[in-house]
Amino acid sequence: MKKEESIKTENTEPEREMGEETDSAENDKDLKKKDDKEQPAEKSPEEKITDLEDKLARTFAEMENQRRRFEREKDEAYEYGGFAFAKEALNLIDNLERSRQILENDETLKNSQALKKTLDHLEIIKKDLISIFSKNNIKPIESLNKKLDPNLHQAMMEIEDDQKDPGTIVQEIQLGFTIKDRLLRPSLVGVSKKSGPKSKKNDVNKENSENK
């Protein structure tokens, strides 16, 4: 009897070991499947090519935008690089105009031949300066008898004038200039306005007194 029990015991132990190996293999398979699910699927060659084409297209677009920006900045630097210098140079014209006004208001020089010659020379110099500016695309703004344009003119005063439409420029205080298509400085001007009610009433009273 003892001999038979020992035989049975020997036969059952290998079966248990085989069962344990089978369970271990199945667990390994489950873990491998889980790892495969967690890792992203590798892209196909076609998808990789599409991604590369997209990146390449974006790179070319950025390069083209940079090139255009550089060209624009270069053109602006070429065309408007002398903006500050041109604005300062306008002081020459302003000084000539101030000198002319001072001489005209000098009582000791009024109606003299010397004053006339001096004013003529100043006017020639002014015209020469404006001509040089115009050749370099720095041009004076036309103002007199024009309608006030806030983009080009700056109104400094209103002048009663019933012969002109309101807002018409009737006096130029300081000449304005443009450089190419940009405003260098606005013209300082005086604009017309209609006479007020008080002035009209005075005119009526004056006519009545004259009729009497």
Query: Three-state SS across the chain?
Result: CHHHHHHHHHHHHHHHHHHHHHHHHHHHHHHHHHHHHHCCCCCCHHHHHHHHHHHHHHHHHHHHHHHHHHHHHHHHHHHHCCHHHHHHHHHHHHHHHHHHHHHHCCCCCCCCHHHHHHHHHHHHHHHHHHHHHHHCCEEECCCCCCECCCCCEEEEEEEECCCCCCCEEEEEEECCEEECCEEEECEEEEEEECCCHHHHHHHHHHHHHHHC
Report yes or no on 154 lying in a domain. Answer: yes
What pLDDT sits at residue 6?
Answer: 47
Report yes or no on 156 lying in a domain. Answer: yes
Average pLDDT for 192-211: 60
pLDDT tens, position by position, 9-29 = 444 454 444 555 555 555 555
pTM score above 0.75? no
Report yes or no on 93 lying in a domain. Answer: no
Quickly state the pLDDT bin for 199 (edges 50, 70, 90).
Answer: very low
Quickly state the pLDDT bin for 66 (edges 50, 70, 90).
Answer: confident
What pLDDT sits at residue 77?
Answer: 58
Residue 2: pLDDT over 60: no
What pLDDT sits at residue 108?
Answer: 85
Q: Based on the structure, what is the number of domains in the chain? A: 1
Q: Which domain, by its residues, includes 210? A: 140-212
- Of the ranges 83-87, 111-115, 200-204, which is most confident? 111-115
Quickly state the pLDDT bin for 210 (edges 50, 70, 90).
Answer: low
Report yes or no on 161 lying in a domain. Answer: yes
What pLDDT sits at residue 36?
Answer: 54
pLDDT tens, position by position, 119-178 = 999 999 999 999 998 888 889 999 999 999 999 999 999 999 888 889 999 999 999 999
Q: Taking all residues of the chain, what is their mean pLDDT, rounded to a whole number?
A: 77
- CATH for 194: 2.30.22.10
pLDDT tens, position by position, 39-59 = 556 778 787 788 888 888 888
Quickly state the pLDDT bin for 85 (edges 50, 70, 90).
Answer: confident
